[in-house]
């Protein structure tokens, strides 16, 4: 038994069906959605789209729960903390799943970053144990994203990944982590220029695991070779690269111009200039997805914090997370995915429905996850929010029909 057995999603036979009245964030139609147990039983439209509410009117909006393919922590819960016992890690995974789901991200790939082989083994083991212990945790964690350690060791592309643990791909090592995770590693970010990377990508591909190009100093030919080997995605394109690049060709243009590659982007208003997001949107079209890449300080109040890797960091009210003694340097991302959706729509003038799509239907399609949206029979993973000029105000999250937030 775990301390988390109280979750009743899917078995609450006593519960009455729940009716939700809200505007569909995709169509603008006013809907009545009936949730029965873990699924949507019925969806009725109360009027046509001519009655659309104005943005920012304070009306309640509804959308499917979001899907984040890259998140390291939330609300103080850090998946990648070092020097932690396995049992504590398991508790962290349970808490993290709840904190992330409570922010409107009802499914995610917790992201394991570069560390010693032993620490990566511990983290993926903790995720497996937590998922086996508890159905809620298992329902939120759709897979694991392994970001590293097979990355570029050069300063710049390496980002904040510790140099001492960066190395060439090693299938035998990866196979041990994969087994310990209960086959939950579904996405691997690596630098294709490393020795053995192309064979590694082919093997990932053969196992149905997404190979994603990231934290790389690869040249155009190496990017092309990675795609030929089966790489399907670019991880947080535009970040994890040299600050100065040849104007063309370079590894960002090569990935941007490669139609076979999906791309994820951190649309937090700090990691990418709005013009870059606009170009990504135009170039990648249906293959652009949003990720939060949030660190554990996301979801906490603005202030100064001490982290075990970065020392003193400052979280500003704008959600910019920067080094306290070098404010020009970012110390990670600190927005929830729902906040990134708002920023994407605000910074690029793209429709809200499209920004939501980038954080729900599209990552589901890329990762091969079930996604039925707001349809009868679909799993009742829903978010309810109000819109204002300053952002979204999350009102409720349903995970398999169970409300997660206390009613205000």
Site for Zn ion in 217-246 (CB under 5 A): 240
DSSP reduced 3-state for 10? coil
Whether 335 and 343 have beta carbons less than 8 Å apart is answered as yes
Specify the residue, 159 or 401, whose C-beta has the smaller distance to Zn ion.
159
Q: List the interface residues with Zn ion, window 130-189 (CB under 5 A).
A: none
Which CB atom, from 106 or from 119, has the smaller least distance to Zn ion?
119
Q: Which is nearer to Zn ion, 169 or 240 (CB)?
A: 240
Instruction: Specify the residue for token string 């140099």.
Output: 163
CB nearer to Zn ion: pick between 139 and 235? 235
CB 384 within 8 A of CB 31: no
Closest contact distance (angstroms) between CB of 147 and Zn ion is 5
In whole angstroms, the minimum distance from the beta carbon of 152 to Zn ion comes to 11
Determine the straight-line distance between the first and last CA of the chain, rounded to whole angstroms.
32
Q: Residue 96: which residues within 8 A CB-CB, separation 6 or more?
A: 73, 74, 77, 79, 110
CB-CB contact of 29 with 45 (8 Å)? yes
Which residue, 240 or 269, is less far from Zn ion as judged by CB? Answer: 240
Instruction: Provide, rounded to whole angstroms, the least separation between the CB of residue 151 and Zn ion.
Output: 8
Scan residues 373-402 and list those touching Zn ion (CB under 5 A). none
Cβ at position 164, least distance to Zn ion in Å: 17
| Minimum distance of Zn ion from residue 238's CB (angstroms) | 11
Quote the tokens at residue 322: 């920067």
Give the binding-site size for Zn ion (rule: CB under 5 A).
1
Provide φ and ψ at 295, rounded to 5°: -90, 175
Q: Give the CB-nearest residue to Zn ion.
A: 240
* DSSP string for residues in 243-273: SS--SSS-HHHHHHT-TT-EEEE--SSSSS-
Q: Retrieve residue 146's tokens.
A: 């392994």
> Which is nearer to Zn ion, 192 or 240 (by Cβ)?
240
Q: Which is nearer to Zn ion, 38 or 240 (CB)?
A: 240
Reference 149, options 125, 123, 127; nearest CA is 123
- Min dist CB 150 to Zn ion, Å, is 13
> Which is nearest to 333 in space by CA: 281, 289, 301, 291?
291
Q: In the window 274-313, what residues touch Zn ion (CB under 5 A)? A: none
| Residue 291 Cβ vs Zn ion, minimum distance, rounded to whole Å | 10
- Stretch 187-206: interaction string toward Zn ion, x if CB under 5 A: --------------------
Alpha carbons 103 and 96: distance in angstroms, whole number:
11
**Site of interaction with Zn ion (CB under 5 A):** 240
């Amino acid at each position: 038994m775990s301390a988390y057995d109280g979750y009743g999603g899917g078995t609450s036979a006593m519960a009455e069906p729940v009716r939700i009245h809200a505007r569909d964030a995709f169509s603008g139609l006013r809907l009545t959605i009936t949730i029965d147990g873990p699924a949507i039983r019925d969806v009725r439209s109360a009027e046509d789209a001519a009655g659309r509410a104005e943005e920012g009117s304070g009306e309640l909006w509804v959308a499917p729960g979001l899907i984040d393919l890259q998140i390291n922590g939330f609300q103080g819960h850090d998946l990648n903390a070092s020097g932690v016992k396995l049992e504590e890690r398991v508790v962290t995974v349970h808490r993290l799943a709840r904190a992330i789901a409570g922010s409107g991200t009802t499914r995610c790939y917790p992201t394991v970053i570069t560390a010693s082989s032993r620490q990566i083994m511990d983290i993926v083991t903790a995720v497996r144990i937590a998922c086996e212990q508890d159905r809620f945790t298992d329902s939120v964690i759709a897979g694991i994203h392994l970001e590293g350690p097979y990355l570029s060791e050069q300063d710049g592309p390496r980002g904040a990944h510790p140099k001492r643990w960066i190395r060439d791909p090693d299938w035998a090592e990866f196979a041990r982590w994969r087994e310990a995770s209960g086959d939950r590693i579904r996405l691997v970010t690596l630098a294709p220029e490393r020795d053995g990377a192309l064979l590694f990508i082919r093997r990932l591909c053969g196992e149905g695991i997404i190979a994603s190009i990231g934290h790389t100093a690869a040249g155009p030919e190496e990017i092309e070779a990675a795609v030929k080997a089966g790489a399907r995605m670019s991880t947080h394109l535009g970040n994890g690269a040299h600050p100065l690049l040849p104007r063309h060709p370079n590894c960002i243009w090569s990935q941007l111009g490669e139609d076979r590659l999906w791309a994820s982007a951190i649309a937090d208003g700090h990691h990418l200039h709005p013009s870059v997001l606009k170009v990504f949107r135009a170039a990648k079209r249906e293959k652009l997805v949003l990720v939060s890449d949030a660190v554990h300080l996301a979801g906490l109040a603005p202030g100064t914090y001490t982290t075990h890797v970065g020392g003193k960091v400052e979280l500003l009210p704008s959600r910019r997370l920067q080094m306290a003694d070098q404010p020009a340097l970012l110390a990670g991302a600190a927005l929830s995915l729902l906040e990134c959706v708002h920023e994407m729509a605000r910074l690029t003038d793209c429709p809200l429905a499209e920004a939501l799509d980038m954080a729900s239907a599209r990552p589901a399609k890329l990762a091969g996850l079930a996604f039925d949206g707001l349809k009868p029979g679909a799993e009742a993973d829903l978010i309810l929010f109000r819109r204002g000029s300053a952002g979204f105000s999350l009102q409720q999250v349903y995970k398999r029909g169970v409300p997660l937030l206390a009613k205000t």
